[in-house]
Each structure stands twice: as C-alpha cells, then as structure tokens.
Amino acid sequence: EAQVTQNPRYLITVTGKKLTVTCSQNMNHEYMSWYRQDPGLGLRQIYYSMNVEVTDKGDVPEGYKVSRKEKRNFPLILESPSPNQTSLYFCASSPTHPRDTQYFGPGTRLTVL
C-alpha cells in the first residue's frame, strides 16, 4: 500500500531533550516536506526536500533540522526542543513538486513540557 509513515505518533518530552521524528514513504517520490499545524495558523512549512541531499527552509525552520540521505526517508530533528514547538507535525511527499498531489502522513502530536 502506498503510504507515508511517521513515528512516533504521539510524544511527550521535556525542554532540551533532543528528539527525532521519522518519516518514510514507499512511493519513490522525489519531493518531501515537513509541516507543523497550530490552531488558527493553518499548516506552516518547516523544511522541504526536492531530492536526495537537497533540502531548503520553509517558512518556520528555526529550531529544526532535517536530512535527506536516501530518497524514502526524511527525518525531522529537534536538537533542543522548547515548549513553543508543541504542535501537530505532518510529513508529506509528492512525485516531483508540492503542486503534484501531496500524500500526507498520519501526523505526530508533540508536547514539550
């Protein structure tokens, strides 16, 4: 089944403790992206990747890192999480570009205490 998977789905952590949210797609898509969703703010793009080893900042990249070493995986790293990073995070992929139909993962709900 074609899908985007994210892990973990729920995470409660404390300020400053490094964490990684994994994202994987099995559709051989070139484009992958991370978004965060907060009430009243819609989706905001954190980072995106047009292909392996190519990553770029979205609208809200501060406090996040990403890497794209292989086509299928696009992990999101929070080196020192803070409470303002408490949010719902979505990973998405599309064949070549975000204007292609994007397939979203199920979301990761992160709480930073």
Partner 1 sequence: EDKVVQSPLSLVVHEGDTVTLNCSYEVTNFRSLLWYKQEKKAPTFLFMLTSSGIEKKSGRLSSILDKKELSSILNITATQTGDSAIYLCAVDRTGGTSYGKLTFGQGTILTVHP
The secondary structure of 19-49 as a DSSP string is: EEEEEEESS--SEEEEEEEETTTEEEEEEEE
The nearer residue to partner 1, 56 or 113, going by C-beta atoms, is 56
Q: Are the CB atoms for 84 and 99 separated by under 8 Å?
A: no
Residue from 48, 74, 110, 112 touching partner 1 (CB under 8 A): that is 48
Residue from 13, 52, 86, 107 touching partner 1 (CB under 8 A): that is 107
Residue from 1, 10, 40, 62 touching partner 1 (CB under 8 A): that is 40
Q: Does 10 bind partner 1 (CB under 8 A)?
A: no
Is cis: bond before 8, omega within 30 of 0?
Answer: yes
Beta strand 108-112 with 103-104 is unpaired
Cα(86)–Cα(108) distance, rounded to whole angstroms?
10
The nearer residue to partner 1, 26 or 80, going by C-beta atoms, is 26
Residues near partner 1 (CB under 8 A): 31, 33, 35, 40-45, 48, 50, 56, 58-59, 90, 92, 97-99, 101-102, 104-107
